[in-house]
């Protein structure tokens, strides 16, 4: 699952607004097709589940828009490049001033 997540994170960086719009239109059409195919007895439960997903997604998006810390969002771990431990994994690049 981690490999799929990493692949998708690197792939989505290459998207521009046009690609994202095409993706969203396609997913909306797919959702409409599924909604049309559902039997009447299952429509209420599917509507409740999709409504809950929609509300959570909107909350997450608006938290990012208004720069509010969202409880669902994970914080990215910051890396301290000034750490004095030499563990061999980070190469420090320094520039000397020419006199």
DSSP 29-87: HHHHHHHHHS-HHHHHHHHHHHHHHHHHHHHHHHHHHTTPPPSSSPPPPP--TT-----
Q: What is the pLDDT of residues 1-58, one digit of tens each?
A: 888 888 878 877 777 888 888 888 988 899 888 888 888 888 888 888 888 888 888 8
Domain boundaries, the chain: 2-65
Q: What is the pLDDT of residues 56-81, one digit of tens each?
A: 888 877 777 777 776 666 666 565 55
């Amino acid at each position: 699952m981690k490999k799929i997540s990493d692949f998708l994170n690197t792939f989505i960086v290459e998207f521009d607004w046009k690609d994202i719009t095409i993706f969203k239109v396609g997913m909306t059409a797919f959702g409409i097709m599924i909604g049309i195919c559902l039997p009447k007895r299952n429509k209420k439960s599917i509507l409740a589940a999709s409504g809950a997903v929609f509300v959570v997604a909107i909350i997450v998006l608006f938290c990012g828009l208004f720069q509010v810390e969202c409880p669902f969002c994970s914080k990215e771990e910051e890396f301290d490049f000034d750490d004095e431990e030499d563990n061999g994994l980070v190469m420090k690049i320094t520039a000397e001033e020419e006199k």
